[in-house]
Amino acid sequence: MSEAFWKTTPLSQMSPEQWESLCDGCGKCCLAKLEDEDSGEIYWTSVGCRLFDAEACRCHDYENRFAKVADCVRLTPDNVKTISWLPATCAYRLIAEGEDLYWWHPLVSGDPMTVHEAGISIRGRVEALEDELDEPEAYFPYILEEEP
């Protein structure tokens, strides 16, 4: 049996299909995050992107997300090491740091539901969508005490 591709293939050499399969479907990157301009500290919120389907824990329009959401970030092999807000459980971050995937990752478990069953995803934890909030201060009540 051959070793899993994420253990043998550098991020920069993965096929588009391999790259996309690294996403575990947790939805954490689709949450609004606030950054303290002075300290650089990141504050997670329970506010989802306007394209986020909180029930499915997926983007409503994944193919067109960059055209529709100006601040949607495209992950690349070059930037995953520099994005400070990537969740500690993110497969892209883990692999970039030389770590392995967790047991609940769909590539390991073989089941896309284990990320939800393990309580890693934000399914059921989104309290608002960004298009429901009109001012930056409106995000403050949704700040979480820790990374989800």
Q: Tell me: the pLDDT tens digits for 8-19? A: 999 999 999 999
**39-85 pLDDT, tens digit each:** 989 999 999 999 999 989 999 999 999 999 999 999 999 999 999 89
CB neighbours (10 Å) of residue 131?
11
Residues 115-129 have a mean pLDDT of 96
pLDDT for residue 119: 96
Rounded Cα distance, 75 and 11, in Å: 11
- The pLDDT assigned to 136 comes to 86
Predicted model pTM: 0.91
pLDDT surpasses 90 at 110:
yes
**What is the distance between the alpha carbons of residues 102 and 139, in angstroms, rounded to a whole number?**
31
Q: Which pLDDT score, from 0 to 100, does residue 1 have?
A: 65
Instruction: Write the DSSP string, the chain.
Output: -PPPHHHHS-GGG--HHHHHHT-----GGGEEEEE-TTT--EEEEEEEPTTEETTTTEETTGGGHHHH-TTPPPP-TTTTTT-TTS-TT-HHHHHHTTPPPPTTSHHHHS-TTHHHHTT-S-TT---EEGGG--SGGGGGGGB-SS--
How confident is the model over 81-98, as a mean pLDDT? 94
Percent of the chain with pLDDT over 70: 99
119: left (phi over 0), alpha (psi -120 to 50) or beta: left
Q: Which residues contact 94 (CB under 8 A, 6 or more apart)?
A: 100, 101, 102
Q: What is the mean pLDDT of the chain?
A: 95
Higher-confidence residue of 127 and 37: namely 127
The mean pLDDT value for 82-106 works out to: 95
- 2: confidence class by pLDDT, cuts 50, 70, 90: confident
Q: What is the pLDDT of residue 7?
A: 95
